[in-house]
Amino acid sequence: MKKAVLSILILSATINFSAQEKEGSIPEVMVSGKLLEMPLKKVNENITVISKEEIKNSPAKSVEELLAQVTGFDIRRRGGNGVQADISLRGSSFEQVLILVNGIRMNDSQTGHNSMSIPFDLASVEKIEIVKGPAARRFGQNAYAGVVNIITKPSSEENVIISGSGGDFETYSLGIGANFGTKKFSNFLQAGSSSSEGYRYNTDYKISNIFYQNQYQLENGSLKFQAGIQEKKFGANGFYSTPTATEQYEETQASIVSLGLTKKYNKFNLNSNIYWRRGQDLYLFNRAKPDVYRNMHIGNNIGGEISGNYQSTLGTTGIGVELRKEFLASNNLGSRERFVTQVFLEHHFSFFQDKFHLSPGISWANYDTEGQFFYPGLDVGFDFNDNHKIYGNIAKVNRVPTFTDLYYVSKTETGNPNLLPENAISAEIGYRFQQNNFVAKVSGFLRNSNNAIDWTKQNQNDIWRAENIGKIETKGVEIELGQNFNSFLKSYSVGYTYLDSKSLQSTNLISRYVLENLKHQFVAKLENRFFKNLTNQLIYRYNERVTTGSYQILDEKLSYDLKKLNLYVLVNNITTSSYTETFGVPMPKRWFHVGFTYKIGL
């Protein structure tokens, strides 16, 4: 932790040296809520928005690596460049974070291990919206600790963007994207492929994807369509089971199709969609000997939702209904299905000249196999002026076990068909300051879980078992600040999260997920502009886990813009730190990439 503090002091000195330069300003950002769309400065929630410009300049090759740069996230990867990763937020399990693509859920009923199978490249992302804490309740199942909404957007600007990169371990990527059409009917098409021989034995991978999206403008509305598929094939040395299982192999597919309609009728705004999300997962314990042990899972989620909000003298009322059918066919888990009905209701009050905001809400969900669940909650906010805001949230959240939690069986793991759904009371209070180019946030949060679900074992020689481990108390503090400049120092940001998560029932069990959280996390970003077209971004991360100690990572991206051509050098783990993020899987040492993007106007 001493090095982390030293880094803060160095960064502060650099900031003070450059602070006298001419400052820029932060543009207004709109946040796409489940029921309401509001300016970021007005929301009474802990929300982070990652812009397209930030994504472009970041030394990240995948969405997972980008999220690792946001304090509060614990990205537990197995391998590099987005091969396989679990997303944890503020000490949650990977099943407790909901992943959306343009508002459509990517989590499936089999397992959250495959939730980050996104059918497009990072360069295609317009922005990422992150909701932390109890305000995520309105999204339903899996929105236990937070929500990540990955947003793409077709453009009427007609162009073709070609991208490519190469790096260590025979790594390469190639991609092509095209925007075409008119302002009334805009289209976006993207295809990409990446591959590597791996940074150690049996960690090779190949990832392919294709994605299409369009938007047809209506009078006071739009009709939106998206369809995409991603396929991953990768060696999984030690990824699951035990570190000695060096011959594991996996192939996954994830596809999504959705059609949505938004329409405004005077004071009523309508938002609706129908969707189909398919996931396929092939696992081999020994890739050279498939007959030793083989699992095949095919899952389908088919659903639709309709929501709207109405503005009146009493405020804004939002209501929504979602129906979803989940199917799974598996040689291990069996043939499973369940039908889910969810209803959302929320009202936004505003008092004292739009300074005090109150948003009570409730969600109701019915699972035909598990029963009914209620998610009541309350958001409160007070704007002292345009710069200072305090807010608070409290809500009850629930999560129904996945089919893997319930029924999975192997030589090293066994599910539990008697698992109860887990639930928690979650609360947060925070303060946000924003003025022109400067933003600062501080918050304290608490989550008291009951019937918490984890995979545990009594000793190292035992097998992992899915269990309700009782009550878990998670509390912490989060601090973030950042500033933009029009100078040599282009921007900086720092973030720190402290977590204290503990079981309130004494147990000697070894935890696989829930009690393996980060205790201290510090993230610092520094972006400089050299001359007009040359920029450099450094990202420093300090993570200290409660069981395996600490590690530090330094990443860098140097970019040169020449009209339509962008050239870059990207280096991950500059200092060649030795570290693991999950199950003792060693992560890559220093990894160089060089690449380009070229835009062609049509």
Dump the DSSP string for 170-239: TEEEEEEEEEEE-SSEEEEEEEEEEEE--SSTT--EEEEEEEEEEEEEETTEEEEEEEEEEEEEEE-TTT
Per-residue model confidence as pLDDT tens digits over 82-123: 898 999 999 999 999 999 999 999 988 898 888 999 999 998
Looking at every residue in the chain, the average pLDDT score rounds to 90
Does 512 score more than 90 pLDDT? no
Q: Is residue 496 part of a domain?
A: yes
Q: How far apart are CA 394 and CA 362, in angstroms?
A: 12
Determine the length of the chain. 602
Give me the mean pLDDT over the 545-549 stretch: 88
The reply to whether 24 falls in a domain is: no
Looking at the domain assignment, is residue 10 inside a domain? no
| pLDDT, greater one: 598 or 532 | 598
Residue owning tokens 């980050």? 116
Work out the pLDDT band at 22, boundaries 50, 70, 90. very low
In a domain, 22, yes or no: no
Averaged pLDDT, 212-223: 96
Six token digits for residue 210 = 């294709």
In this prediction, residue 583 has a pLDDT band, given cuts at 50, 70 and 90, of confident
CA 193/CA 363 separation, integer angstroms = 40
Q: Which residues pair with 443 in a beta bridge?
A: 430, 478
pLDDT band at 515 (very low <50, low <70, confident <90, very high): confident
SS3 548: coil
More confident residue, 380 or 137: 380
Cβ contacts of residue 5 below 8 Å, gap of 6+? none
- pLDDT given for residue 2 in this prediction: 45
Closest CA to 427 of 411, 449, 410, 409: 449
The domain that holds 280 is classified in CATH as: 2.40.170.20
Separation CA 526–CA 492 (nearest Å): 5
Q: Which amino acid belongs to residue 132?
A: K
Q: Among the residues of 266-320, which ranges form H helices?
A: none
Residue 14 inside a domain? The answer is: no
Percent of the chain clearing pLDDT 90 (strictly above): 77
**What's the confidence (pLDDT) of residue 135?**
73
* Cα 76 from chain centre: 12
More confident residue, 394 or 583: 394
Of the two residues 16 and 432, the one the predictor is more confident about is: 432
The pLDDT of 340-361, averaged and rounded, is 93
When pLDDT is cut at 50, 70 and 90, the band that residue 568 belongs to is very high
pLDDT at 229: 98
Task: Give me the half-sphere count of Cα atoms (radius 13 Å) on the Cβ side of residue 267.
Answer: 8
The whole-angstrom separation of Cα 176 and Cα 190 is: 6
The CB density around residue 371, as the number of other CB atoms within 10 Å, is 10
Q: Is residue 438, in this structure, part of any structural domain at all?
A: yes
Is residue 576 within 8 A of residue 546, CB to CB? The reply is no
SS3 letters across 4-35: HHHHHHHHHHHHHHHCCCCECCCCCCEEECCC
CA nearest neighbour of 342 among 270, 261, 400: 400
Range of the domain at 264: 30-601
Query: Residue 495 pLDDT > 50, yes or no?
Result: yes
d(CA 495, CA 4): 11
pLDDT band per the 50, 70, 90 thresholds, residue 157 = confident
Distance CA 54, CA 128 (A): 10
Residue range 584-597, pLDDT digits in tens: 799 999 999 999 99
Confidence tier at 39 by pLDDT (50, 70, 90)? low
- Indicate whether 7 pLDDT > 60: no
Q: What whole-number distance in Å separates Cα of residue 59 and Cα of residue 398?
A: 35
* pLDDT tens per residue across span 130-145: 999 887 677 877 889 9
Q: Hey, what long-range contacts does 468-471 have (CB within 8 A, 24 or more apart)?
A: 468/419, 468/420, 468/422, 469/503, 469/505, 469/507, 469/509, 469/511, 469/514, 470/503, 470/504, 470/505, 470/507, 471/503, 471/504, 471/505
Beta-bridge partners for 48: 130
- Rounded Cα distance, 103 and 213, in Å: 14
278 falls in which pLDDT band (50, 70, 90)? Answer: very high
pLDDT of 25 > 50? The answer is: no
Give the mean pLDDT of 57-73: 94
Gyration radius of the chain over CA positions: 23
Instruction: Kindly state whether residue 11 falls inside one of the protein's structural domains.
Output: no
Structure tokens at 131: 């909701």
Q: How far is CA 208 from CA 83, 98, 192, 257, in A?
A: 11, 23, 6, 17
The pLDDT-based confidence of 38 (bands split at 50, 70, 90) is low
pLDDT digits (tens, 9 = 90+) for 240-269: 877 889 999 999 999 999 999 999 999 999
Q: Which residues pair with 131 in a beta bridge?
A: 47, 147
The reply to whether 229 falls in a domain is yes
Neighbours of 32 (CB within 10 A): 16
Return the amino acid letter for 167. G
Of 366, 387, 373, 495, give the one whose Cα is nearest residue 435: 387
The mean pLDDT of 167-184, rounded to a whole number, is 96
Q: From CA 95, how far away is CA 34, in angstroms rounded?
A: 20
Domain count, the chain: 1
Residue 102 and residue 503: Cα distance in Å, rounded?
A: 36
* Token representation of residue 331: 């040689």
Strands annotated E in 514-562: 518-530, 534-545, 549-562
Q: Residue 143's closest CA among 125, 129, 153, 127?
A: 129
Looking at 126-140, 254-268, 309-323, 557-571, which range is the least confident one? 126-140
As to burial, measured by CB atoms within 10 angstroms (0-12 exposed, 13-18 middle, 19+ buried), residue 523 is buried
Q: Give the Cβ contact number of residue 6 at 10 Å.
A: 10
Least confident interval from 28-42, 309-323, 393-407: 28-42
Residue 26 CA: distances (Å) to CA of 4, 123, 435, 480: 28, 22, 8, 16
